[in-house]
Structure formats: structure tokens, C-alpha cells
Amino acid sequence: MSIDELSKLEKEFNDLNPCFSIYEELVWSGQQHPQKFELLGAWETNNLQSSSKDFKYIDRNGIKYGFKPRWNKNVSQKYQGCQKLSKEQDFINDRIPQEFPMREPEILDYIKSIHGIGPVFFYFLLTCRHSKYLSNV
């Protein structure tokens, strides 16, 4: 795939997901935020909206983002799990291996035990942690 084709795909994806800057900033740039995993969980489940009055995040371009009304414990299974992950992000980050692991780290069992969070989300967290290395590949 050429760089032009990749650029076209990126533009099409960005047009489909107007909140993509949150993903770019929190994952690929590795920016920290007290609600990082809650924002990413809402992003993953299409529960973020721009220009929200009750905003939780402002991107580099000054665009404000907040949660859609359906991002709550009664509708989204991932909601409470992502809240828990956000509150415990220091604990979790301290246990994600510094080097990209060849085997499942012990912290995976803990993350899998959190309601609404499964192993796929852990691999997402692992990628978040190691994205600065992956972006150089």
C-alpha cells in the first residue's frame, strides 16, 4: 500500500470518526489524562461527541469533547470497567511490562476480571503503552 493510499484511508477514517484526535493524542502521542481509559472506552464504543457543554477533554486544536448521554452504567457494559481503569491507571501502568512481552503479563488476569473489560482491551492498553515504539516501526 502506498503512502497516498494510506493518507486517503486515514482521511476517510477521520471523516467517519470526528473524535479521532483523542485517539491520536492519548494513544499514539502517549498523552496522559485522569480519565484516559474512560475517554478511550467511550471513543471505542462511539460514545464521544465534540462541542459538548460538559466537556472532559480539549484536543490540541481546542475542540472540546464529552460523553454522549448513553455512556452510562445502565447502557454500556464497558462504562464501569473503563471508569475503574481510569482510576487505577497508575497501578495498571506500573504492571504493564516495559518491553513488549512475548507472553501474557500477570496484570492481564486482573484486567480480565474487571466487568466489561476483556483481553482485547488489555491488548489495546498494551499498545497504548508501547505506541511510541510501534510508531517507529
56-76 pLDDT, tens digit each: 999 988 989 999 999 998 877
Q: What is the pLDDT of residues 115-137, one digit of tens each?
A: 888 767 666 666 666 655 444 43
Main-chain dihedrals φ then ψ at residue 123, nearest 5 degrees: -65, -30
Positive or negative torsion for Cα 51, 53, 59, 63 = positive
Whether the model clears a pTM of 0.85, i.e. scores above it, the answer is no
Q: Domain spans of the chain?
A: 3-134
Q: Tell me the angle at which helices 36-44 and 119-134 cross, rounded to the nearest 10 degrees.
A: 110
